[in-house]
Structure formats: structure tokens, C-alpha cells
A and B are shown apart, each in its own frame.
Chain A
Amino acid sequence: MIGIIDYQAGNLTSVARALRYLGEPCLVSDDPKVLKQASRIIFPGVGAAGEAMANLRQTHLDQWIPEWVDKGKPILGICLGTQVIFEYSEENDTKCLGIIPGAVKRFPKDLQEDCMPLKIPHMGWNHVAFQKDHPIFRDIPDEAQFYFVHSYYPDPADDHLVIGWTDYGQLFCAALARRNLVAVQFHPEKSGRPGLQILANFCRWGGEDA
């Protein structure tokens, strides 16, 4: 059973739909007592960091999520879920969960590519250069692209955690892994077949380090 963390952050139904399509049973909840029945957790989300953290505190998920991570059970962060596992986000000047050392930063206003200004948010399909042979990326073609929509990007203190880099005027961390935790900035549930493959890989992954 996959537990999907509900913290009022955007449309969680799309992750549940993708799992149903893959034939993976899942539950969506904001209650730690319900979520602990799951064998693995997906932490999705779209929206702003400040409000997300406020909602997590209200349901005590801000304490429960780090505990889950410490237990060594698999967890997958997606988009905003990935961002709030860091120590701090520049978005709304927000103190986050602090599971991964580092900060979430806003793309600079003067971002350029071939002398052309780039738009923010970074919205659309982009490549991810995978750095490590992680089980989560099994059977993903090198040229696959993934759907992104975000104005802030994760910047881990330790670059060794990064398992996927993406180029948008600058290189940023699109995927990272540490033991039983994997976190991606893009939306696998909206990235066609390669995205579904990542979700399927996660459903089979035991949480062991790559």
C-alpha cells in the first residue's frame, strides 16, 4: 500500500490516478495514524512553501515525516514535497523540515540562454541528466524528458546527493537520493510513460541505497 501525504497542497488526485493506472493500491491522508499503515510514502504537492509548512505543522506531519525517513522506509518527494524536505526555502522565507541539508532558491530574474531571457516559472518538458544508476531510474531512456512547473529549485549542501541535473539557464538539482529517500522536482505523474516508469520503480524499490 502506497500512502500519499495530503496537506492541502494542490491536486493530489493526479498521483493517485497514476498509481491506480499502474495497479498499485494507495491511500490519501493527512493523518499519521492512517499513513503509517503504508509500506511506502509519496510526498507530492504544488503550491507555496509557507502555506505547505503551516498545514504540515497543523496535522503534526512535520514531525511524522522525518520519523518515517529515519525508519528507513521508502519515501518519494515530488515538486513542493521535494522542496520542503530541505532546511529552508526562499519562498515566503520559510523554515522547512530540515531532512536534507540545503536551501530552496528562486531562479534569478536575469536567467538567460543564448542571450535570450528565460521565463519564470520553468514550465514544460526538460531533460534530466542522471548521475547515478539508482533503482528509481531503471529502464528510463537517456533522452527521456519530464514535466516541470516551478519558480524555485532545490540546492542541496552536498552535491553528492544529486542524482539528476537539469539545465535551465543554470544547472539545478532535478533529482536527489539519500538512502531510503528519493526526491524529484519534476512531476512523474504528468510525464507520460517515463514518468509512470519512475512511479512503478518506486513501488518496487525496497529503500536500499543505490
Chain B
Amino acid sequence: MLSKRIIPCLDVRDGKLTKGIKFKGNIDIGDPVEAAREYYEQGADEIVFYDITASSDERDIMIDVVKRVAETIFIPFSVGGGIRTVEDMRRVILAGAEKISINSEALKNPPLISEGAKAFGSQCVVLGMDVKKVEASAKTPSGYEMVIHGGRVFTGVDAFWWAKEAENLGAGEICLNSIDADGTQEGYEIKLTHLISTNVNIPVIASGGAGTPEHLKDVLTRGKADAALIASMVHYRYYTISEIKAYLQGSGVKTRMTW
């Protein structure tokens, strides 16, 4: 039986973490490589880096970060943000990432999913979805709409349809982020996660809203998610990953407890 994966997500800009991570002794660290090492030691099952660097000139800094991370941790990790072409994907994968995550780029250019899957295998291609709850309509019958630019721009694309479409195009996994729940620390969007996860045959990582270990338990059991993304709750040291995993294991959610 597979374990449910716990995946910390780190935002990187110009090679530095956008929010420092509180380490032991409350030292604030901005180095993504050190943060990755810390989470690897705590038992993270995978790590996600999201590059929010604005200018493309600075992309080489991220490639260097990816190389250093790959020499430091020996679990899968993915990189998202600013990947627009198969060539962008190749650079990140050759630098040592297992997976690349594409989000708004895939919405603008859906063949990017199939091209990436053909070049590197479906297991390399993660579709990032930013989703907002809307009134169900002819255009968005599921009541969930794809949004871009941090939720400021509605695309008119139905989230349920897009998840199925991306699976058909060859996406190997979906990282499903609820913009409504994101940043609230009040829990994941269970209904949305359940809807998508039970209707695609690829793994779904739930994202947005994690504040307590109970939230993870909810989305991994009732929400049927295969994995849970976490950020602030570990970055600010409210919890360690090992504490979260111990709680989940104690609540009957199978997790990896030896690392």
C-alpha cells in the first residue's frame, strides 16, 4: 500500500527563499538548498520549488539552485514557475529535478503537456492548477474555474474539464491549489480535492489551506488526495514534518516513518 506523501513547498526568487525558514534556534535561513536539506532530514517525501523570479535573465540562478539541491537530497523534487518550453523543462531536468510543474503556461499552450510527456515521460510532468469556486454555469459546470496570476484573472476554463483534459494530454500528476483556501491556514478545500482526485487516474497533490496536522488528515482521507502540500505551517516552525507524520500515522493514515 502506498504511503501518503507530505510535500513542503518553497518559493524562490532570484535564488533565495521569499520567506525565510525558521530553523532550530529560530535562525532565519534564506538559502533554498539548506531548507531542502532540513526538510529532507525531517522526513519530507518530496519537495516542490516554485521559482517566482520575474526576469528570464535570472533563470540561471535557479538552475544552479536545482543542481545544488540535487547533490544534497536524495528524494524526488519538482520545480515550477516560468517553464514555457520543452527546452526549459530539459534544463531543469538535466540539472537534477525529477519533475517539472507547469501551470498557466499549460493553459495558454496545452500541447506543452503532451510535448513534455513525450520528451521525458508523463511521470515528469506535473500540472499545477489554481482554482477558484464560482457559480456553476454553462461554461463552468463544475462550479470551479481555472484562474491565473495568483487568482486575479479568470480564464473561463472549467477546472474539472481541465483536469481530465490534462490527464488525456499526458500529465503524470496534478497539484491542485485552491485559491480560496490558500494562505488561510484553515484547511484544504475538501470538496474540490475529492471531485478531482476521484475522477482522474493520476495522483493528486492537495494544496492551499494547511494549518494543522488535522487538515492534512482530512484532505488525505475524506478528500482522497494522494499527497498534501504544506508551506507556512512548517516554514514558521509551528510544526515539524516529523510531528505531522507521527500524527498522521497515529490517525491511521499510512505515511513513511523511516528515513
Contact = CB atoms under 8 A, between A and B. Distances in A.
A23 interface: no
A120 interface: yes
Contacts of A117: 201
B5 to A, nearest CB: 6
B94 interface: yes
Contact of B258 (A121, A145, A190): A145
Chain A contact residues, majority secondary structure: mixed
Given A17-B71, A121-B172, A192-B40, A126 B2 contact: yes
A125 B96 contact: no
Chain B contact residues, majority secondary structure: loop
A74 interface: no
Interface residues of B, number: 30
Contacts of A194: 258-259
Contact of B2 (A18, A48, A141, A168): A168
B3 A10 contact: no
Contacts of A113: 1
B75 interface: yes
A124 B255 CA distance: 11
A123 B74 contact: no
Contact of B5 (A48, A119, A125, A141): A125
Interface residues of A, number: 38
Interface string B114-137: 000000111100000000000000
B226 interface: yes
Interface string B33-59: 000000010000100000000000000
A63 interface: no
Which of A18, A121, A192 has the most CB atoms of chain B within a 10 A radius of its CB? A192
Contacts of B202: 119, 121
A143 B2 CA distance: 13
Contact of B256 (A10, A18, A145, A196): A145
Interface in B38-96: 40, 45, 70-71, 74-76, 93-94, 96
Interface of A: 10-11, 13-14, 17-18, 20-21, 46-48, 113, 117, 119-127, 141, 143-145, 147, 149, 167-168, 189-196
